[in-house]
């Protein structure tokens, strides 16, 4: 299957700082990518749909000013967690792909101290 | 998209078939059944999908009941590496988005 990478795989930051997570499709072009968040022992929660060349679409309850998404090219989407706080500590996962199959990145574990 | 119901956990002996059930009683005629799995601390992995016919690939088989209100994912010879959370998702085909809404899934523990 196709490959999606994420960088970094883990990050620790201080409260109040911003963190950028990159999601890349390595062998396909993705006009749409998705960002998920997963807390320990919980399921994946869809945060937003990242659209190449246009604004992201956020799910209900997700703060668009806190989770900034940029999809500047067909192979790269970025999620920036602004002014991160300990409650933002989570596993962030992106996906992209075709109609019948979504390919997921390996995830980024964010810990905010 | 319709909701699905799965048992929270199941055990299976290594080498035996693992049968994971999923109820989707409110599924619409144009909704497909998808299965993904997530091994601990990794991104989910696509397994298989189907509309109404049974499907088989190198990973698993998908059996969908005739009324489409439930389905079963079958791993024919489970190994320890199949220990994961398995998600059953129903999704509209031809929709404006490919987004997946994950439920709680079934934690399959394959025992040696």
Among A7, A29, A95, pick the best mutation site for testing chain B contact (most B Cβ within 10 A): A95
Chain A residues with CB under 8 Å of a chain B CB are 1, 4, 32, 34, 36, 43-46, 49, 91, 93, 95, 97-107, 109
Query: For A53-57, A86-90, A91-95, which range has the lowest pLDDT when averaged over its residues?
Result: A53-57
Would you state the pLDDT for residue B2? 58
A91 → chain B, closest CA residue: B41
Whether residue B16 contacts residue B78, with contact meaning beta carbons closer than 8 Å, is answered with: yes
The two structure tokens encoding residue B36: 């993904």
What is the dihedral sign for C-alpha A94, A74, A51, A65? positive
Distance CA(A66)–CA(B88), nearest Å, equals 31
Would you state the pLDDT for residue B79? 97
pLDDT digits over B47-106, tens only?
Answer: 999 999 899 999 999 999 999 999 999 999 999 999 999 999 998 765 556 788 899 999
**DSSP conformational letter for A88:** G
Q: Is the pLDDT of residue B1 over 70?
A: no
Q: Rounded mean pLDDT of A37-64?
A: 93
């Amino acid at each position: 299957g196709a490959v999606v990478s994420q960088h970094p795989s883990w990050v620790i930051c201080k409260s109040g700082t911003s963190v950028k997570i990159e999601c890349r499709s390595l062998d396909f072009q993705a006009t749409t990518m998705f960002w998920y968040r997963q807390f320990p022992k919980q399921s994946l929660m869809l945060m937003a749909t990242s659209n190449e060349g246009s604004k992201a679409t956020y799910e209900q309850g997700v703060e668009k000013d806190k989770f900034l998404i940029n999809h500047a090219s067909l192979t790269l989407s970025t999620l920036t967690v602004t002014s991160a706080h300990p409650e933002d500590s989570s596993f962030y996962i992106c996906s992209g792909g075709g109609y019948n199959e979504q390919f997921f990145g390996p995830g980024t574990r964010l810990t905010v101290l | 998209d319709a909701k699905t119901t799965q048992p929270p956990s199941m055990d299976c002996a290594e080498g035996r078939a693992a049968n994971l059930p999923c109820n989707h009683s409110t599924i619409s005629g144009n909704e497909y059944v998808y299965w993904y799995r997530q091994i601990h601390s990794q991104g989910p992995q696509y397994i298989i999908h189907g509309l109404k016919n049974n499907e088989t690939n190198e990973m698993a088989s998908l059996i969908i009941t005739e009324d489409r209100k439930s389905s079963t994912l079958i791993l024919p010879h489970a190994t320890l590496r199949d220990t994961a959370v398995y998600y059953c998702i129903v999704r509209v085909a031809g929709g404006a988005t490919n987004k997946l809404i994950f439920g709680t899934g079934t934690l399959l523990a394959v025992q040696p």
